[in-house]
Amino acid sequence: MSNIVTSPSHAAFERTTTKWGSITLFIGFLIATSVPFYLLFVADAAIDFGDILTGFLAVFAVYGVFYIVEPLTYFPILGPAGMYQAFMIGNVSNKLLPSAIVAQDTIGAKPGTRRGEYAATMAICGAALIHVFSMVLFVGILGTWLVTFIPDPVTLIAKLYILPAILGGVTVQLIASLKQVKSTLIALGAAAAVILVLIPLVPVLASGDVAIVVILTIAITWFTRNRAVTDQKRSGGDDNVGIN
């Protein structure tokens, strides 16, 4: 009998993650959408279907565009497996995406490659484990007792500056690792135009400013791309470092 052990293929990895990712994400979808029906048919909440529909439409009007923009934006960095993980766990932009970018930059893996996809998947696993551990420790065990020892100025600083500092640092790291000067300038120009010009002129668009910047940047970058370079990279194949 042969003792040769063959390494799993990338195709097997994609099949497995697609199968179980779809199943677990659909289960999460059923659980998340069951709450309104529980309130409507089981709980004595004194609401009707019109109230639930009104609440849904109010949320959809503000965040509906992100249902399309976020998957398109995150997919090149996270890959298929990371996308299943990220949208099941949540806190993608402020926790999982930065973790994936830092992991890819640390090992020198480019987003959109197989190696980058594996790095993002492992980074999301690590971020989720740390998040669960910190929740159990600081919320489940210590709870509000710890909050009473935190000075108010520290709490205010945390609310105002920590998240922008994290996202700003990750943005700079991503720009430095990708080295796409043209795309970076387009993104910065689009953001400045939307925030400083469009939103003051049309304030009703303020809730969708991020989505507008993302769509505008993607469109301008796509139509101004160097087609010869794109075709050359496409014909050069993928980064197959890792699973062959």
Q: In the structure, what pLDDT confidence band is assigned to residue 197 with cuts at 50, 70 and 90?
A: very high
Residue 66 is assigned to a structural domain of this protein: no
| Domains in the chain, number | 1
Residue 199 is assigned to a structural domain of this protein: no
Q: Residues of the chain with pLDDT > 90: what percent?
A: 18
pLDDT tens column, 2-48: 454 456 688 888 889 999 999 999 999 999 888 888 888 888 777 88
Residue 25 near residue 84 (C-beta atoms within 8 A): yes
Residue 200 is assigned to a structural domain of this protein: no
- Per the structure, the complete domain to which residue 88 belongs is given by 12-47+73-149
CA pseudo-torsion sign 87, 93, 95, 97:
positive
Q: What is the mean pLDDT of residues 117-133?
A: 92
- What is the structure's pLDDT at 143? 74
- What is the structure's pLDDT at 24? 93
Residue 104 is assigned to a structural domain of this protein: yes
Residue 179 is assigned to a structural domain of this protein: no
Residue 137 is assigned to a structural domain of this protein: yes
Rounded-to-integer distance, Cα 58 and Cα 54, Å: 6
Residue 205 is assigned to a structural domain of this protein: no
Residue 119 is assigned to a structural domain of this protein: yes
